[in-house]
Amino acid sequence: MTLKIVTMPGDGIGPEISEATGFVLDAVMERFSLDLELQPDHMGFSLLEQEGETFSDRVLEKLRVADGFIMGPNDTINYPPKEEGGRNPTAETRKSLDLFANIRPAQTVPGLGYTRKPMDLVFFRENTEGFYADRSMALGSGEFKPTEDLALSVRKITRQASERIARAAFEAAKSRRKKVTAVAKGNVLKISDGLFLEAVQTVADDYPDIELEIVIVDAMAALLVRSPETFDVIVTTNMYGDILSDEASELAGSLGLAPSLNVGESIAMAQAQHGSAPDIAGQDKANPTSLILSMAMLLEWLGRRHNDASLGEAARTVEEAVRDCLNDPATRTGDLGGSLGTRAFGQAVADKVKG
């Protein structure tokens, strides 16, 4: 069965890291004879120039019938207002395709990282509600100003979404170190975070062999620095997960190394955890590791979904090739003290994939 994968380079450094990722994807497709149909398309400023919108219903419908997609970073802060075509591709795909789980691993690379302590953990971040204003209301924004001097924001937490992300986290813990950490601020947000924690505990009752601990969000920020090795699977709400996963990735080595997969019931989106970095765009300086590893996560997810062992093996091969390159200072990008540019690093990983 041919699997359809839509690719969209995005803004800023997006085209460069997408090209480098393409080198690796082409190599792994050839080595493992993967039956993938790549369907290039656009979003962000390139689509705005072509179709008058940074994201379009046409692209969304194309994604609905795909098996997965790879999206480059968005430069949403510089998009025009929504009424002038400035639609947020990440937010719209997560909401419209119900990509409820944002899965973000953080794993240290020897010789890199700020804590010099081992870290091998993964965040399961609820992706469809929480403090994000564009995901809190059926109509309009969850952030509003009744007067010029008063700003309000609505946070939405539901039992259904909380239980769903918790179950995904516990399922992942079964094949890891069998520990789940739920992060919240239940001592202050007693109703909303209280509901989230109640939902997590309900799911935990179905997994008696997996340890559950609850950590307050501000304590978690400190513990990631002090004792990251004590954590395995972390489940939390949208905003907390966004902030803490960035912290963990930077502590592990660099945000440029951090992969990310947005998962729904029938489709997944690979996307670098970092932004579009317009200040270095077009200079061959960007580290493409995050998007390359995100692509590998997509292959692994597709392999499990379609019971295709070759996709899983392909994903592991990409991860090993990246690890080999990062372990050798001679094959690192400039941000990690090496000398390779974006294209050269992508080609180096592709060459290792080819064997």
* Domain CATH for 54: 3.40.718.10
Determine which one of 57, 218, 324, 328 is catalytic. Answer: 218
Out of 49-53, 139-143, 283-287, least confident range: 139-143
Residue 272 lies in a domain: yes
Task: Give the integer Cα–Cα distance in Å for 232 and 107.
Answer: 11
**Residue 138 is assigned to a structural domain of this protein:** yes
Q: Does the active-site annotation cover 242?
A: yes
Query: Is 218 a catalytic site residue?
Result: yes
pLDDT recorded at residue 117: 82
Selected residue with higher pLDDT from 112 and 299? 299
User: 45-72 in b/e burial notation, b at 16+ Cβ within 10 A?
Assistant: bbbbeeeebbbbeebbebbeebbbbbbb
Length of the chain equals 355
Within this chain, do residues 270 and 299 fall inside the same structural domain, yes or no?
yes
Q: Which of 185, 232, 240, 308 is catalytic?
A: 185
Residue 308 structure tokens: 């295709």
Residue range 134-157: mean pLDDT, rounded: 86
> Which of 26, 134, 246, 351 does the annotation list as catalytic?
246
Domain count along the chain:
2
Per-residue model confidence as pLDDT tens digits over 12-32: 999 999 999 999 999 999 999
Residues 193, 318, single domain; the answer is: no
Domain boundary among 199, 219, 252: 252
- DSSP letters, 261-275, are EEE-SS-EEEE-SS-
The verdict on 291 and 340 lying in the same domain is yes
Burial class (CB in 10 A: 0-12, 13-18, 19+), 355: exposed
- pLDDT beyond 80 at 348: yes
pLDDT of residue 309: 96
Same domain as 248, residue 119: yes
pLDDT digits (tens, 9 = 90+) for 64-106: 999 999 999 999 999 999 999 999 999 999 999 999 999 999 9
Whether 191 and 289 share a structural domain? no
Question: Could you tell me if residue 107 is inside a domain?
Answer: no
pLDDT at 134 over 80: no
**How much is the average pLDDT of 32-54?**
96
Q: What is d(CA 195, CA 83) in angstroms, rounded to the nearest whole number? A: 35
Residue 139 has pLDDT above 90, yes or no: no
Residue 259 in any domain: the answer is no
Is 104 a member of any domain? no
pLDDT band at 111 (very low <50, low <70, confident <90, very high): confident
Q: Which of the pair, 211 or 134, is modelled with greater confidence?
A: 211
pLDDT digits (tens, 9 = 90+) for 233-262: 999 999 999 999 999 999 988 888 999 999
81 lies in the same domain as 120: no
Residue 136's pLDDT band (boundaries 50, 70, 90)? confident
Contacts of 20 (CB under 8 A, 6+ apart): 288, 291, 292, 342, 343, 345, 346, 347, 349
Dihedral sign computed on CA atoms, order 76, 42, 61, 163: negative
| Residue ranges making up the domain that contains 212 | 113-252
Shared domain check, 181 and 151: yes
Helical pair 192-204 and 159-174, crossing angle rounded to 10 deg: 40
Residue 48 lies in a domain: yes
The tally of CA atoms less than 13 A away on the side-chain side of residue 186 is 15
* 185 noted as active-site residue: yes
Percentage of the chain exceeding pLDDT 90: 88
Q: Are residues 80 and 157 in the same domain?
A: no
Q: Are 234 and 276 members of one domain?
A: no
pLDDT band of 294, cuts 50, 70, 90: very high
Judgement on whether residues 240 and 205 belong to the same structural domain of the protein: yes
pLDDT for the residue 73: 95
213 closest CA partner among 176, 183, 169 = 183
Task: Give the per-residue pLDDT at 116.
Answer: 74
Same domain? 227 vs 192: yes
If you average pLDDT over every residue of the chain, what do you get? 94
Same structural domain for residues 119 and 175?
yes
At residue 140, does pLDDT exceed 80? no
Confidence of residue 133 (pLDDT cuts 50, 70, 90): confident
Catalytic, out of 11, 41, 75, 132? 132
Output the pLDDT for position 347: 97
Grouping H, G, I as helix, E, B as strand and the rest as coil, residue 105 is strand
Residue 43 in any domain: the answer is yes
252, 285, 310: which is the final residue of a domain? 252
- Please report whether residue 257 resides in a domain: no
pLDDT band at 141 (very low <50, low <70, confident <90, very high): confident
Task: Give the residue-averaged pLDDT of 222-238.
Answer: 96
Catalytic residue among 67, 75, 232, 242: 242
Last residue within a domain, chosen from 219, 252, 285: 252
